Amino acid sequence: MNGKEIRYEAPEQEMKIIQEEALAMYDANRKYTYDEVQYWLTDNRRWELIDGIPLLMASPAIDHQLISTTLTLLFGNYLKGKECQLILPVDTVLSYGEGSDTYVIPDLVVLCNRNKVKKGRIFGAPDLIIEILSPSTSSRDKIEKRLKYQEAGVKEYWIVDLKNETIEVILATADKDFNNTFYGKGDSIKVSIFTNLEINVADVFANPWLS
């Protein structure tokens, strides 16, 4: 190690606590594959791997979790008894193979193909992914992860913006491009992967505990 600063996501108060541990775990001068970092996944911290660079992630804030709970109820009630399942944060290897260098933990996923679940993780693209923006993850969710989800073939991607109370819905097209639409509290979103599910944006942000 030459002491090169690592890339990680954490509130400022946690930085000193985790930096020494993270620096000791890998060489910042090289990139890694999923096969290498999968052995770190039992250290009780949340890791992601983007383009071969390991990222330590902090625990989410209360507002983030309140939104996650609301979305879980809205989707979960609809999906009860159906083939597709809503899954809370889960290890997801978007495109697994020799040299695979990207591994993510989305906030919520909808998965319709049970065969993609192996060893307690998802291998392959979920049908729908939801990311709830936090200050430390906003740029990555909007840019890097968006590109990775597009490349992997995710059909629908939601970016939930707590600050502005909006949801950006990004849909895959036939030519593997994406169309995006922004929805506010007066709108409802027709979930494209289902025939009869609509989510009112106001309901997503209705929890009175949200700051």
Q: How many CA atoms lie within 13 A of 190 on its CB side?
A: 3
Retrieve residue 117's tokens. 């679940």
- Considering only 18-32, 50-64, 134-148, which range has the smallest mean pLDDT? 18-32
pLDDT at 111 over 70: yes
What per-residue confidence (pLDDT) applies to 54? 84
Kindly report the pTM of this predicted structure. Answer: 0.86
CB within 8 A of 135, min separation 6: which ones?
A: none
Reduce the DSSP state of residue 134 to 3 states and report it: coil
User: What was the pLDDT predicted at 24?
Assistant: 64
Residue 194 in this model has a pLDDT that exceeds 50: yes
Give the pLDDT band of residue 62 (cuts 50, 70, 90). very high
Are 79 and 110 a contacting pair, CB within 8 Å?
A: yes
Burial (CB count within 10 angstroms: exposed 0-12, middle 13-18, buried 19+), residue 80: exposed
Q: What percentage of residues in the chain have a pLDDT greater than 90?
A: 60
Examine the pLDDT at 89 and tell me if it is beyond 90.
Answer: yes
Share of the chain residues as helix, strand and coil, in percent rounded to the nearest 5 = 30, 25, 45
Return the closest-CA partner of residue 162 out of 184, 137, 132. Answer: 132
Distance of alpha carbon 149 from the chain centroid: 10
> pLDDT per residue over 4-33, tens digit each?
444 444 445 554 444 455 556 677 788 888
How far is it, in rounded angstroms, from Cα 15 to Cα 17?
Answer: 5
Give me the residues paired with residue 93 across strands: 123
